[in-house]
Structure 1
């Protein structure tokens, strides 16, 4: 959403900031039809199990299991077909095309233990990655003060 807002409102948005987003190469860049079907099939077959996989994938090994369960419960509770449609939209989105149009700087605060070298190599010329150690993919909830400091630091620069 932040990238699209930057793309659509270039005179209003001065900097795009993503919180542990844009670097998941299983979702980005845009997939061909066969890859898209392979990614989406588990969500069509068993939405809950596929969402559990997302939560596990976004959680470093030492994430509290109760915390992962709480995130899972919130995510799987999304009324259908809204949850499925949001995943479909994400997989069909062409991030590379959107990034070509966004002229503002883009900073990605990425969980250090999840950020891959492959993502840095693919997008490092366009995205400024800042590795963080504030928890799981849901670090803004887990560490609101730490997240606020990250944002203030970027906005102050």
Structure 2
């Protein structure tokens, strides 16, 4: 077990978990690194129940049509992948297909009900968001740019660590090494 504060790295929803760990355990965390989890398409803007239902409707309808939540989730995620040839699609499909539909939908609802602004306001440690450059909107830059260090990566989508590991891995290592100094 580390003796001092640690760097917590979270991918996608795991970035929200990393922020919550830092918020709830401020003395244990030195820095949070998000891998395409905090600025992606403004997903982490808290939604009311009606807005969340509307955002989830395409996924719910696809699931109703095909009966396979995993297949519907993979189709939804396809829009967030740029380097498809670098992604282990069969592995992703198998993982998503193993999800219980109720659990999967509840997971997406929880994402939409999380208040990132509130969490960041109560997180005392620095946060670096490594994100797909193509999905980093001007709104996200304005909304979070003063609270996060934004590090865009070109030519990748949501699965940036799988699409360009030769870029993302050294970048994360460098960030961790910088914090450790």
The CA RMSD measured in Å over matched residues stands at: 2.4
- SS, match of residue 135 in structure 1: coil
If the length of structure 2 is used for normalisation, what is the TM-score?
A: 0.74
- Give structure 1 stretches of 5+ with no counterpart: none
- Provide the aligned length of Structure 1 versus Structure 2: 155
- The CA deviation at 1:35 is 0.9
Structure with more relative contact order (C-alpha pairs < 8 Å, separation 6 or more): 1
Structure 1 pair 50–96 and aligned structure 2 pair: CA distance change class (3 A)? farther
- Of 71, 75, 84 in structure 2, the residue corresponding to residue 64 of structure 1 is 84
Task: Specify the alignment match of 1:19 in structure 2.
Answer: 35
Task: Specify the alignment match of 1:147 in structure 2.
Answer: 168
Task: Specify the alignment match of 1:92 in structure 2.
Answer: 113
Question: Mapping of 1:7-86 within 5 angstroms?
Answer: 7-45=23-61, 46=63, 47-48=69-70, 50-60=72-82, 63-64=83-84, 67=87, 69-70=89-90, 71-86=92-107
- The CA deviation at 1:49 is 6.5
Structure 1 pair 150–134 and aligned structure 2 pair: CA distance change class (3 A)? farther
- The CA deviation at 1:59 is 1.6
If the length of structure 1 is used for normalisation, what is the TM-score?
A: 0.84
- The CA deviation at 1:27 is 2.0
Question: Mapping of 1:95-114 within 5 angstroms?
Answer: 95-114=116-135
Task: Specify the alignment match of 1:136 in structure 2.
Answer: 157
- The CA deviation at 1:134 is 6.1
Task: Specify the alignment match of 1:5 in structure 2.
Answer: 21
Whether the 8 Å contact between 2:71 and 2:97 is mirrored in structure 1 is no
Which has the larger Rg?
2
Q: Deviations over 1:1-56 (max 9, x none)?
A: 11111111100001010001111245221012321121123333324565245312
Q: Deviations over 1:49-87 (max 9, x none)?
A: 652453123223xx3368374334432432332222211
